[in-house]
Amino acid sequence: MYLSRIQLQDAIFAHSQLGLLLKDRSYGIHRLLWDLFDDKQRFIYREESAAKQTGASRNQPMYYVLSQMQPNMESPIFSVESKLFSPVLHAGDQLSFRLRANPTIARRAEGVKNSKRHDVVIDAQRSFLIAACAERELPTSGSKSQLRKELQAHDDYQDKTGRERLKQELDKVIAAAAFEWLNKRGDSRGYLLNTVQSTGYRWNALPEKGRSAGFSSLDYEGVLTVSEPEIFVKMLGDGLGPSKAFGCGLMMIRRM
């Protein structure tokens, strides 16, 4: 595998609007990166801030790309640095990691043959709100925002203190759901979670795909233990979770 660090050419970023056009355009970014691979090989990538990663004076986007083939080093748009990525790992190795993922869960609705994927965060919040409403004999149907309004009108959550308590309860639900999603996948991906923190939950619109198209993403950071090295390395190359074409799934690791 090859791990590459890819940035817009300085001249392009400084003298064109391309940097602004690429902002929050996951689909467009992927298509431009794809042009770096002559045989259209599959790859996964992660967007970072060059200012945070390298101390660059301008806050331009930078991309880490993991691929089976080396990208084209000569590009009129990008500056490309690439190196072989072949980690030698052993069971018991501890690694710090960062991951941007699109955590989803499959649920089958009554009377429907195929299951449907749901956002883990929204699913967990809605399940909590339904249970909390049922406990207080409030309506349990409707959207997540409608259920929250029902609770906020109840005596338990009506004042400022109650609303802050509801927010804290929902934050705990989100953290637990995020942890469970990543921890559960460790069994078949060759790792055990030691510590993890999830932050930066956001919705990423894909206007190129349609008015309401998009996906959610969540940033993970923590420490894991390698349990099955070969399986774990394969997972690194394959990526973790859906929306890999839009910058999710690449786990960045560092030895401790």
256: DSSP letter: -
What residue ranges of the chain are covered by domains with CATH 3.30.70.1200? 2-84
d(CA 190, CA 196): 16
The CATH homologous superfamily for domain 94-255 is Crispr-associated protein; domain 2 (3.30.70.1210)
> 2-84 adopts what CATH topology?
Alpha-Beta Plaits (3.30.70)
CB atoms within 10 A of CB 84: 8
d(CA 169, CA 126): 12
Answer for the pair 253, 86: CB distance below 8 angstroms, yes or no: no
Written as six digits, the tokens of 163 are: 């609303």
Q: What is the pLDDT along the chain (256 residues), one digit of tens a residue?
A: 999 999 888 776 666 666 556 655 656 777 888 889 877 678 999 988 765 666 565 667 889 999 999 999 988 888 999 999 999 999 999 999 999 999 998 876 666 666 778 899 999 999 999 999 999 999 998 888 999 999 999 999 989 999 999 999 999 999 999 999 999 999 999 999 999 999 988 888 777 677 777 888 999 999 999 999 999 999 999 999 999 988 999 999 999 8
What residue ranges of the chain are covered by domains with CATH 3.30.70.1210? 94-255
